Amino acid sequence: MGELKVLIDEQTLQNRIREMAKQIEEEYKGKTITIICILKGSVFFTVDLAKAINEDVRVEFIRVSSYGGDTVSSGEIKMKLDLKDSINGKDVIVVEDIVDTGRTLSYLMEYLKLKQPNSLKICTLLDKKERRVCEVNPDYVGFQIPDEFVVGYGLDYDEKYRNLPYIGYFENV
Ligand code: IMP
Ligand code: MG
Protein backbone atom coordinates (compact mmCIF):
# COMPACT_ATOMS: atom_id res chain seq x y z
CA MET A 1 0.00 0.00 0.00
CA GLY A 2 2.97 2.35 0.33
CA GLU A 3 3.66 4.91 3.01
CA LEU A 4 0.81 6.52 4.96
CA LYS A 5 0.76 10.30 4.45
CA VAL A 6 -1.48 13.02 5.85
CA LEU A 7 -3.99 14.49 3.40
CA ILE A 8 -6.09 16.54 5.86
CA ASP A 9 -4.70 17.12 9.34
CA GLU A 10 -6.75 16.98 12.51
CA GLN A 11 -6.97 20.74 13.06
CA THR A 12 -8.07 21.46 9.49
CA LEU A 13 -10.65 18.69 9.74
CA GLN A 14 -12.09 19.94 13.03
CA ASN A 15 -12.19 23.58 11.89
CA ARG A 16 -14.09 22.66 8.75
CA ILE A 17 -16.54 20.46 10.69
CA ARG A 18 -17.34 23.38 13.00
CA GLU A 19 -17.96 25.59 9.95
CA MET A 20 -20.31 22.98 8.47
CA ALA A 21 -22.15 22.70 11.79
CA LYS A 22 -22.64 26.48 11.91
CA GLN A 23 -24.01 26.48 8.35
CA ILE A 24 -26.45 23.68 9.19
CA GLU A 25 -27.43 25.45 12.40
CA GLU A 26 -28.27 28.64 10.45
CA GLU A 27 -30.35 26.75 7.91
CA TYR A 28 -32.30 24.70 10.44
CA LYS A 29 -32.97 27.38 13.05
CA GLY A 30 -35.60 26.23 15.55
CA LYS A 31 -36.04 22.87 13.84
CA THR A 32 -35.36 19.37 15.07
CA ILE A 33 -32.74 17.78 12.84
CA THR A 34 -32.70 14.03 12.32
CA ILE A 35 -29.22 12.93 11.38
CA ILE A 36 -28.88 9.56 9.72
CA CYS A 37 -25.40 8.23 10.29
CA ILE A 38 -24.30 5.68 7.73
CA LEU A 39 -22.37 3.01 9.60
CA LYS A 40 -19.63 2.43 10.05
CA GLY A 41 -17.54 5.04 8.28
CA SER A 42 -19.42 8.19 9.23
CA VAL A 43 -19.59 7.55 12.99
CA PHE A 44 -16.60 9.75 13.81
CA PHE A 45 -17.80 12.61 11.60
CA THR A 46 -21.39 12.32 12.85
CA VAL A 47 -20.31 12.62 16.48
CA ASP A 48 -18.15 15.71 15.97
CA LEU A 49 -20.68 17.36 13.66
CA ALA A 50 -23.65 16.70 15.95
CA LYS A 51 -21.78 18.03 18.99
CA ALA A 52 -21.09 21.29 17.16
CA ILE A 53 -24.72 21.88 16.10
CA ASN A 54 -26.52 24.05 18.60
CA GLU A 55 -30.04 22.88 17.73
CA ASP A 56 -32.16 19.88 18.63
CA VAL A 57 -30.42 16.93 16.97
CA ARG A 58 -31.51 13.31 16.88
CA VAL A 59 -29.30 10.55 15.57
CA GLU A 60 -30.40 7.45 13.70
CA PHE A 61 -28.25 4.72 12.20
CA ILE A 62 -28.36 2.78 9.00
CA ARG A 63 -25.84 0.34 7.61
CA VAL A 64 -25.30 -0.61 4.02
CA SER A 65 -22.46 -2.52 2.48
CA SER A 66 -20.70 -1.46 -0.65
CA TYR A 67 -17.00 -2.20 -0.45
CA GLY A 68 -15.67 -5.61 0.46
CA GLY A 69 -12.22 -5.85 1.94
CA ASP A 70 -10.83 -4.04 -1.04
CA THR A 71 -10.26 -0.54 -2.37
CA VAL A 72 -12.63 -1.10 -5.29
CA SER A 73 -16.39 -0.95 -4.85
CA SER A 74 -18.27 -4.07 -5.85
CA GLY A 75 -21.14 -1.93 -7.11
CA GLU A 76 -23.69 -3.96 -5.24
CA ILE A 77 -25.48 -2.32 -2.30
CA LYS A 78 -27.00 -4.34 0.53
CA MET A 79 -29.02 -3.12 3.52
CA LYS A 80 -27.31 -4.49 6.62
CA LEU A 81 -29.09 -2.52 9.34
CA ASP A 82 -32.31 -0.64 8.72
CA LEU A 83 -33.71 2.43 10.53
CA LYS A 84 -35.49 1.58 13.75
CA ASP A 85 -37.70 4.68 13.97
CA SER A 86 -39.93 6.46 11.47
CA ILE A 87 -38.54 9.51 9.61
CA ASN A 88 -41.95 10.45 8.24
CA GLY A 89 -42.32 14.25 8.35
CA LYS A 90 -38.82 14.73 9.80
CA ASP A 91 -36.08 17.07 8.62
CA VAL A 92 -33.41 14.57 7.71
CA ILE A 93 -29.73 15.01 6.97
CA VAL A 94 -27.89 11.93 5.79
CA VAL A 95 -24.31 12.07 7.03
CA GLU A 96 -21.71 10.25 4.97
CA ASP A 97 -17.94 9.98 5.28
CA ILE A 98 -17.22 10.04 1.56
CA VAL A 99 -19.12 10.10 -1.73
CA ASP A 100 -17.16 8.15 -4.28
CA THR A 101 -19.04 6.50 -7.16
CA GLY A 102 -22.29 7.72 -5.61
CA ARG A 103 -23.85 4.26 -5.73
CA THR A 104 -24.42 4.01 -1.98
CA LEU A 105 -26.10 7.37 -1.65
CA SER A 106 -28.20 7.23 -4.79
CA TYR A 107 -29.57 3.90 -3.57
CA LEU A 108 -30.10 5.24 -0.04
CA MET A 109 -31.74 8.48 -1.14
CA GLU A 110 -34.33 6.61 -3.21
CA TYR A 111 -34.98 4.35 -0.26
CA LEU A 112 -35.29 7.21 2.25
CA LYS A 113 -37.54 9.32 -0.01
CA LEU A 114 -40.12 6.53 0.12
CA LYS A 115 -40.31 7.06 3.88
CA GLN A 116 -41.57 10.60 3.25
CA PRO A 117 -39.39 12.86 5.38
CA ASN A 118 -40.31 16.57 5.39
CA SER A 119 -36.88 17.36 3.94
CA LEU A 120 -33.87 15.27 2.97
CA LYS A 121 -30.32 16.54 2.56
CA ILE A 122 -26.86 15.05 2.23
CA CYS A 123 -23.85 16.08 4.26
CA THR A 124 -20.55 14.45 3.37
CA LEU A 125 -17.13 15.06 4.82
CA LEU A 126 -15.31 14.13 1.62
CA ASP A 127 -16.27 14.21 -2.02
CA LYS A 128 -14.31 12.32 -4.72
CA LYS A 129 -16.19 13.85 -7.63
CA GLU A 130 -13.99 12.45 -10.39
CA ARG A 131 -15.16 8.94 -9.59
CA ARG A 132 -18.90 9.58 -9.79
CA VAL A 133 -20.95 6.96 -11.63
CA CYS A 134 -24.41 7.77 -10.17
CA GLU A 135 -25.61 11.32 -9.87
CA VAL A 136 -25.44 12.47 -6.26
CA ASN A 137 -25.20 16.12 -5.30
CA PRO A 138 -24.35 16.57 -1.63
CA ASP A 139 -25.79 19.72 0.00
CA TYR A 140 -22.88 20.08 2.42
CA VAL A 141 -19.35 19.06 1.51
CA GLY A 142 -16.38 19.25 3.85
CA PHE A 143 -13.58 18.77 1.33
CA GLN A 144 -13.29 17.92 -2.34
CA ILE A 145 -10.49 15.39 -2.65
CA PRO A 146 -8.58 13.89 -5.60
CA ASP A 147 -9.00 10.30 -6.72
CA GLU A 148 -6.88 8.72 -3.96
CA PHE A 149 -7.87 5.95 -1.60
CA VAL A 150 -8.08 7.60 1.81
CA VAL A 151 -8.24 6.25 5.36
CA GLY A 152 -8.74 7.62 8.85
CA TYR A 153 -11.42 9.48 10.76
CA GLY A 154 -13.86 6.62 10.16
CA LEU A 155 -12.60 5.54 6.76
CA ASP A 156 -11.06 2.11 6.65
CA TYR A 157 -8.96 -0.19 4.59
CA ASP A 158 -10.13 -3.70 5.50
CA GLU A 159 -11.43 -2.35 8.86
CA LYS A 160 -8.09 -0.77 9.74
CA TYR A 161 -7.19 2.91 10.28
CA ARG A 162 -10.69 4.13 11.25
CA ASN A 163 -9.41 5.57 14.51
CA LEU A 164 -6.81 7.89 12.98
CA PRO A 165 -7.72 11.49 13.92
CA TYR A 166 -6.75 12.73 10.43
CA ILE A 167 -7.38 11.76 6.80
CA GLY A 168 -4.46 9.93 5.25
CA TYR A 169 -3.57 8.32 1.94
CA PHE A 170 -0.98 5.81 0.82
CA GLU A 171 1.87 7.10 -1.23
CA ASN A 172 3.06 4.40 -3.56
CA VAL A 173 6.77 3.99 -3.26
P1 IMP B 1 -19.77 4.94 -3.21
O2 IMP B 1 -21.00 4.10 -3.14
O3 IMP B 1 -18.84 4.48 -4.30
O4 IMP B 1 -20.05 6.43 -3.29
O5 IMP B 1 -18.91 4.65 -1.92
C6 IMP B 1 -19.18 5.14 -0.72
C7 IMP B 1 -18.58 4.26 0.35
O8 IMP B 1 -17.39 3.60 -0.08
C9 IMP B 1 -18.17 5.13 1.51
O10 IMP B 1 -19.18 5.21 2.46
C11 IMP B 1 -16.93 4.43 2.03
O12 IMP B 1 -17.29 3.50 3.03
C13 IMP B 1 -16.36 3.71 0.87
N14 IMP B 1 -15.21 4.45 0.26
C15 IMP B 1 -15.21 5.15 -0.89
N16 IMP B 1 -14.00 5.71 -1.12
C17 IMP B 1 -13.23 5.34 -0.07
C18 IMP B 1 -11.85 5.63 0.28
O19 IMP B 1 -11.10 6.34 -0.40
N20 IMP B 1 -11.43 5.07 1.45
C21 IMP B 1 -12.21 4.30 2.26
N22 IMP B 1 -13.49 4.02 1.96
C23 IMP B 1 -13.99 4.53 0.81
MG1 MG C 1 -16.21 1.49 4.20
The pLDDT tens digits for 145-155 are 999 999 999 99
* CA 98 – ligand 1 centroid, Å: 6
**pTM here?**
0.94
Cβ(43) to ligand 1 under 6 A? no
Q: Work out the pLDDT band at 173, boundaries 50, 70, 90.
A: low
Catalytic residue among 100, 127, 156, 158: 100
Torsion on CA atoms 75, 165, 42, 45, rounded to nearest 10? -140
As a whole number of Å, the end-to-end CA separation of the chain is: 9
CA 94 to centroid of chain Cα atoms: 7
Tell me the CB-side half-sphere exposure of residue 66, using CA atoms within 13 A: 21
**Is 70 an annotated catalytic residue?**
no
The pLDDT tens digits for 4-38 are 999 999 999 999 999 999 999 999 999 999 999 99
The pLDDT tens digits for 90-135 are 999 999 999 999 999 999 999 999 999 999 999 999 999 999 999 9
